[in-house]
């Protein structure tokens, strides 16, 4: 557990007045407030530190204790004993607090010295909605193409969610009420899950459409024929028309990725032919090609 220099956190010196502290806090809070920096962990951490510094320095009693024992916080208990001889200071203070905070929002140093969040900023029994949680869930490509259930553990609570087929990489879904617990009977926050879907070695996905590149034998490309290719739901036979050019694209309707939350609807599969030039030709084959080139 390390000492936290709250003056340094707020960028003020020890002689700062209550007004200076308020101004410094507001300035930094405007920069790092989680509402202004969504999904930014660093900003959240900074904000918690600023909040903690403000919690201590804006309260004359806490500031006194901090100034006296800050660096020697282990000896703070002595201070507490002295306090017993004094009158309890009134906790009545300002009306608003800085929004929902849990004990976990304070550093070990703060918890050790002040025993968690004080009642000073929690005087009112205001109902606060719990904090929203954000999580990332990794899915295999093939898992994302079928509706399935997954069990997750969020903050010690096990929840079972249904992941609809067709979920996109980077898509976020909201699980209502599975975020942080509400404060003073307020509603729970929500859980936001962002999906990270692994790439497939063969298929490339863009929205609901799939793209695949198929090597096509030169002779089939020239003379036409039949090939078998893999799709998400098995193999399909394709007729290749004679004189197919390199880079030709064909569309297989309904053979793409399932459309999110639309049962039975699928995107398309686009197949691009890459004509392979034969190698290691025999003398006879070379002769035939030469003959062809002259014809």
Partner 1 sequence: MPTNHLIEVNEFCIIHNIEVSFISSLRENGLIEILFDHESAFFDAEQLQLVEKFIRFHYDLDINIEGIECINHLLQRTAAMQDEIASLRNRLSLYE
Sites of contact with partner 1 (CB under 8 A): 26, 29-30, 33, 35-36, 38, 95-96, 98-99, 124, 126-127, 129, 168-171, 199, 204-207, 211
Question: Cα(70)–Cα(2) distance, rounded to whole angstroms?
Answer: 11
CB of 211 or CB of 260, closer to partner 1: 211
| Through-space distance between the first and last CA atoms of the chain, rounded to whole angstroms | 86
Strand partners, 250: 271
Q: How many CA atoms lie within 13 A of 87 on its CB side?
A: 3
CB of 8 or CB of 204, closer to partner 1: 204
Q: Report CA Rg, the chain.
A: 33
Q: What CA–CA distances, in Å, run from 22 to 4, 53, 81, 141, 184?
A: 19, 11, 30, 51, 27
CB of 30 or CB of 86, closer to partner 1: 30
Q: How far is the CB of 228 from partner 1 (least distance, A)?
A: 24
Query: Contacts from 203-209 at CB under 8 Å and sequence distance 24+?
Result: 203/141, 203/232, 203/269, 205/141, 205/169, 205/257, 207/168, 207/257, 207/267, 208/166, 208/256, 208/257, 208/258, 208/259, 208/260, 208/266, 208/267, 208/268, 209/256, 209/257, 209/267, 209/268, 209/269, 209/270
CB of 29 or CB of 227, closer to partner 1: 29
Give, for 286, the enclosing helix (H) or strand (E): helix 283-294
CB of 207 or CB of 254, closer to partner 1: 207
CB of 42 or CB of 84, closer to partner 1: 42
Q: How far is the CB of 180 from partner 1 (least distance, A)?
A: 13
Q: How far is the CB of 34 from partner 1 (least distance, A)?
A: 9
Q: How far is the CB of 227 from partner 1 (least distance, A)?
A: 22
Q: How far is the CB of 30 from partner 1 (least distance, A)?
A: 5
CB of 101 or CB of 113, closer to partner 1: 101
Q: How far is the CB of 126 from partner 1 (least distance, A)?
A: 6
Q: How far is the CB of 245 from partner 1 (least distance, A)?
A: 21
């Amino acid at each position: 557990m390390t000492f936290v220099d709250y003056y340094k956190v707020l960028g003020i010196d020890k002689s700062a007045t209550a007004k200076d502290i308020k101004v410094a806090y507001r300035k930094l809070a405007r920069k790092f407030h989680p509402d202004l920096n969504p999904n930014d962990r660093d900003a959240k951490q900074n904000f918690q530190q600023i909040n903690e510094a403000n919690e201590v320095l804006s309260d004359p009693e806490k500031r006194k204790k901090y100034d006296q024992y800050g660096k020697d916080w282990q000896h703070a208990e002595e201070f507490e004993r002295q306090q017993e001889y004094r009158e309890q200071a009134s906790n009545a203070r300002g009306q608003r607090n800085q929004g929902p905070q849990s004990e976990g929002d304070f550093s070990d140093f703060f918890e050790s010295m002040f025993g968690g969040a004080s009642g000073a900023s929690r005087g009112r029994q205001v109902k606060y909605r719990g904090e929203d949680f954000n999580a990332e869930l990794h899915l295999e490509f093939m898992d994302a193409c079928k509706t399935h259930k997954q069990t997750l553990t969020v903050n010690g609570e096990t929840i079972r969610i249904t992941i609809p087929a067709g979920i996109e990489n980077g898509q976020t879904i909201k699980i209502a009420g599975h975020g942080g617990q509400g404060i003073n009977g307020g509603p729970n926050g929500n859980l936001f899950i962002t999906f990270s879907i692994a790439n497939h070695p063969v298929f490339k996905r863009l929205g609901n459409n799939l793209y695949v590149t198929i090597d096509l034998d030169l002779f089939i490309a020239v003379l036409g024929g039949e090939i078998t290719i893999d799709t998400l739901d098995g193999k399909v036979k394709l007729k290749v028309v004679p004189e197919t050019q390199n880079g030709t694209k064909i569309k297989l309707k309904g053979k793409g990725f399932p459309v999110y939350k639309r049962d039975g609807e699928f995107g398309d599969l686009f197949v691009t032919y890459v004509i392979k030039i034969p190698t290691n030709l025999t003398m006879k084959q070379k002769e035939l090609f030469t003959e062809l080139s002259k014809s």
